[in-house]
Amino acid sequence: MNPRELDHAFRSFLESQRLDVGAAESAVGVRAMLDFYAQERADGCDAACDQDMLLFQWGTYDWGHGAHFELDVTRQVILPDEIDDAIWQLHLTYRFDVSPLLTGLGSGNKWCASPSELAAFGRYIASLPVTA
């Protein structure tokens, strides 16, 4: 897959799986992103050199339009021969109205550096109170 076309490749992947992550529960969307990472490699990006990674993050944020609780999984690729546009990211973000329960979950993040770490990464995400 061309790393500059992460968005298009992910949409095609979702179509092949008959998934609408916009209408699905967040757990389904996160699982889809993990499956996409497992099945689709970014051309020219070496996972052993941290050039194709996943990031799972959560917390309450206000980006200037009011606070929301967010769950986000991001695929980040770094193009080895680029200088200006070397980092490309594809975010899948679920936003929820804030509540004491969600705010109480705090914030955090974890990286998955390679496909060999994916199973443990998936178990970690599933074990979090934030994904319960």
Q: What is the pLDDT of residue 48?
A: 85
- 124 vs 46: which has the higher pLDDT: 124
Share of the chain above pLDDT 70, in %: 97
pTM value surpassing 0.85: yes
Averaged pLDDT, 75-81: 88
Range of the domain at 77: 3-131
How high is the mean pLDDT of the chain? 93
Q: What is the pLDDT of residue 85?
A: 67
Q: Find the radius of gyration of the CA atoms of the chain.
A: 15
At 33-53, the pLDDT tens digits run 999 999 999 998 988 888 999
At 79-111, the pLDDT tens digits run 877 666 689 899 999 999 999 999 999 999 999
DSSP readout, 20-51? -TTTS-HHHHHHHHHHHHHH-PPTT--GGGTS
Q: Cβ contacts of residue 118 below 8 Å, gap of 6+?
A: 34, 37, 38, 54, 112
What's the total number of domains in the chain? 1
